[in-house]
Amino acid sequence: MRNTLTALACTALLTLTACNTTTNNDQLTGALVGGVLGAITATALGADTNWLIIGTLAGAATGALVAENQRTGECAYADGNGGYYRAACPRG
């Protein structure tokens, strides 16, 4: 099962990287790639089904946020009082 899931995830990842995405699809692509990478990581660490789901969802959320930040050029920063604010991402 683990080898099948890993092979399926790798195939999906390679398929996604071959797609020519537009700006409107960046968040969806980021979420899909993040979700696949989260699932691969959870599987590689020998996680049970619950952790596999959590890893996939966390990866999808992170991928969507990274794509959005790249599109807008804004990042979220902690304000020191338990909240966040948005400002331009550092150029590096």
H-type alpha helices, 19-80: 26-44, 49-72
Q: What is the pTM of this model?
A: 0.56
Domain of residue 48 covers 2-88
Across residues 67-85, what is the average pLDDT? 80
The pLDDT tens digits for 31-61 are 888 888 889 988 889 889 898 889 888 988 8
- Rounded CA-CA distance 47/15 in Å is 25
Beta bridge partners of 76: 86
Between helices 2-18 and 26-44, what is the axis angle to 10°?
160
Task: Provide the pLDDT for residue 20.
Answer: 47
- Residue 83 scores a pLDDT above 70: yes
Task: Provide the pLDDT for residue 8.
Answer: 60
The pLDDT tens digits for 3-39 are 666 666 655 655 555 454 455 577 788 888 888 888 9
Structurally, the chain folds into a number of domains equal to 1
